A and B are shown apart, each in its own frame.
Chain A
Amino acid sequence: MSAVAHVRSSEPGKTPPEQESTGRGRRLTVLLLLLPGTIWLLAFFVTPLVQLVATSMYDPDGTIETGYQVVVSAQNYATGLEQYSEPFLRAFLYAGSATVLCLLLGYPLAYAIAFKAGRWKNLLLILVVAPFFTSFLVRTLAWKLILADNGTVVSTFQTLGLVSDDGRLLATGIAVVAGITYNFLPFMVLPLYASLEKIDHRLIEAAGDLYSSAAAGFRRVTLPLSMPGVVAGTLLTFIPAAGDFINAELLGDTNQTMIGNVIQGSFEAGDYPTAAAMSVTLMIVIVVMVAVYIRRSGTEELL
């Protein structure tokens, strides 16, 4: 439709009225297209966010029974951080470790799918996504069985001397990090694959032609060109992992509590102000970290 309008408007003499109506129509189309998304964001993002920030500043002495007084106070933040600094740090430590592990596991996998898989490419991609067909919760519970004290993994590790005879994997940081790594691996692999797959193979040939061995060519050409995938993958892994509570809940014990568990626990206990304050803090810390990370990795223009 717009193409026709274009052709017409280039014809001299008979343009103004038609062009104007088309221009107005186009503007209306844009607005109509934006409308559902805008309503959605207002209803389910902006409103809850305002509510969340407001709740985080409620009177900390209130309870669900007695009601909360609306005060503007940073008290919830101060006490929350003081009380829960450890789960906070642990959340970032676990999420960071899992992100690094995902990158180390996911990069070779994505590379193999993008460059070496040939006709198996689509099958391998389906296999990467296949775990999503089952619930996150069920898969994490399965890990609980896999890492169980009398399971084969633990006994094998004990035989190999990697775990002491009365040692265990379940309820350790290792179990939680392993669970997070497993659960978020596809979020790392898919963006990595997408950016590796886009790389023009002739660039790698050109690097070889210009005296780069396979390793040097990878370091100077493939890796820098896949940075958008690395950044996207690490963000998609790290951000949800930092707020995750399922893995720590199912595979850890009280020594592996992450900030997600604190928020969830406070919420269940009816301590809304603390839950809200911790949520907002988590959100701010992540936004700042992500901003610095993107700036540092110099991939703004590639993203």
Chain B
Amino acid sequence: MTEEPTESTGGDELRLEGVTKRFGDFVAVDDLTLTVPAGSFFALLGPSGCGKTTTLRMVAGLEQPTTGRVLLGGADITTAKPYRRPVNTVFQSYALFPHLTTYENVAFGLRRQGRDRGSIEHAVREMLDLVELGGFAQRKPAQLSGGQQQRVALARALINRPQVLLLDEPLGALDLKLRRQMQLELKRIQTGVGVTFVHVTHDQEEAMTMADTIAVMNAGLVEQLGSAEELYESPRTTFVANFLGQSNLLAGEVTGRSGEDLVVEVQGTKLAVRAARAQATEGQVWLGVRPEKVHLAPAGEQADGNRLGGGRVVDVSFVGVSTQYLVTMPWGQSVSVFEQNSGARAPLTVGQEVDLHWAPEHAFVLDHQQDASAGVESLDQERVG
């Protein structure tokens, strides 16, 4: 174990420096550098196999990085044994000890640290109350429901007051309703105890609901890092644009500038985009716009902003608060559009000719080199691990 305190970088922040992990020929994590500020709720979001769990396991000490360093509060913990790290994990499958009661599971870490009986008793009672399992102390894990097991796993980790709590898809095994409830619960607990949470998930909604900062990972790399809003409103890669929510990506070419806007020509139509929201400013680009930012109007109707004409409604799905339209453009591309059911206008019908409208500040421009379908959830890669 090397404990060489480097220059203080402030607080107990977690820092990964150039971390790479290879399994044989497979590069799970590729030269990752990341700083997680102390006390924040940080999410690693990505599809299965993107390296997010491997990253977490390297912080926990369950995997050794091939190269690079892991620093916690300035101390190098790269090679420290798991049991020497002030870090605890909530495992994906919970990994509760089946032979021990809820009470003993939660007390496990404190007992190993040699705390005296009285203080353990007090701390366990307090923690079980926090996760609302006070009445279940003597139950074995097999006698608890999935949600209760999840809370025991959380209590078992949190009771040790780690500097960083690692959560490996902790809500993956719960049904939707319970998951929503636990998301709020986790956020409440995190705010209450002020511990740094690093949360691994493939569920974009979960990450956006809970995390202060999200790192979107793909193929061992961080694609983009920022708040949920930043990532959603200004994706910098096609992967982020497609993985967080949906995006319509239109192939176009930058033809010039007009004030603070960039002019992009898409299939002969000139469209304006704020230059500040462009990742590429010349040549071939992807012009992106979120479905809910697009407004539909019957063909020829006058409106402000960008207009892209010639669409035809091919599908209408009414989903309560909104209606989702699929519009086919003359060049064959399908554009998806969400409209609020505010009652302002009668719903459009299949076969109707429509124009697409959106404001210049609502579009974004991405590099054309990237795959337009990167990060689109397909059935075979969905919801695994």
Question: Distance (Å) between the CB of A226 and the closest chain B CB?
Answer: 10
Is B89 among interface residues, defined by CB-CB distance under 8 A?
A: yes
Q: Is B214 among interface residues, defined by CB-CB distance under 8 A?
A: no
Report the bound CA distance from A206 to B98 in whole Å.
12
Residues from chain A with a CB closer than 8 A to the CB of B108 are 207, 210, 212, 220
Given A211-B113, A211-B160, residue A206 in contact with residue B95 (CB < 8 A): yes
Report how far A53 CA is from B109 CA in the complex, Å.
55
Query: Within the complex, which residue of A200, A202, A211, A224 is in contact with B83, where a contact is CB–CB below 8 Å?
Result: A211
Interface residues of B (CB under 8 A from A): 60-62, 81-83, 87-89, 91, 93, 95-99, 108-109, 112-113, 156-157, 160
Chain B: which residue is nearest A221 at the CB level? Answer: B97
**Chain B residues whose CB sits within 8 angstroms of the CB of A213 once the complex forms:** 81, 83
Instruction: Tell me whether A18 is interfacial, beta carbon within 8 Å.
Output: no
B127 CB, min distance to chain A CBs, angstroms? 13
CB distance from A149 to the nearest CB of B (A): 50
Interface residues of A in 222-248 (CB under 8 A from B): 224-225
Asked whether A202 lies within 8 Å of B95 as measured between CB atoms, the reply is yes
Query: Would you call A216 an interface residue if the criterion is a C-beta within 8 Å of the partner chain's C-beta atoms?
Result: yes
Give the CA-CA distance A211 to B107 in the complex, in Å.
Answer: 12
CB of A200 within 8 A of CB of B82, answer no
Interface residues of A (CB under 8 A from B): 200, 202-203, 205-213, 216, 220-221, 224-225, 302
Q: Write out the residue numbers on chain B whose beta carbons fall within 8 Å of the beta carbon of A210.
A: 83, 88, 108-109, 112, 156-157, 160
- Within the complex, the shortest CB–CB distance from A225 to chain B, in Å, comes to 6
Q: How far is the CA of A205 from the CA of B95 in the complex (A)?
A: 9
B112 touches A202 (CB 8 A): no
B88-A225 in contact (CB<8A):
no
Whole-angstrom distance from the CB of A196 to the nearest CB of chain B?
14
A206 and B160: CB pair below 8 A? no
Complex contacts, B98 vs chain A, CB 8 Å: 203, 225
Q: Which residues in A have their C-beta under 8 angstroms from that of B87? A: 209
Question: Can you identify 14 A-B contacts, CB atoms within 8 angstroms?
Answer: A200-B93, A200-B95, A205-B82, A205-B95, A206-B96, A208-B62, A208-B83, A209-B82, A209-B89, A209-B157, A210-B109, A210-B156, A211-B160, A220-B108
Query: Roughly how many angstroms separate A220 CA and B83 CA in the complex, as a whole number?
Result: 14
- Bound: A196/B91 CA distance, A: 21
A186 to B83, CA, bound (A): 35
Other 13 A-B pairs with CB < 8 A, given A206-B95, A210-B160, A211-B113: A202-B91, A202-B93, A202-B95, A208-B62, A208-B82, A209-B62, A209-B87, A210-B156, A210-B157, A211-B109, A211-B112, A212-B83, A212-B108
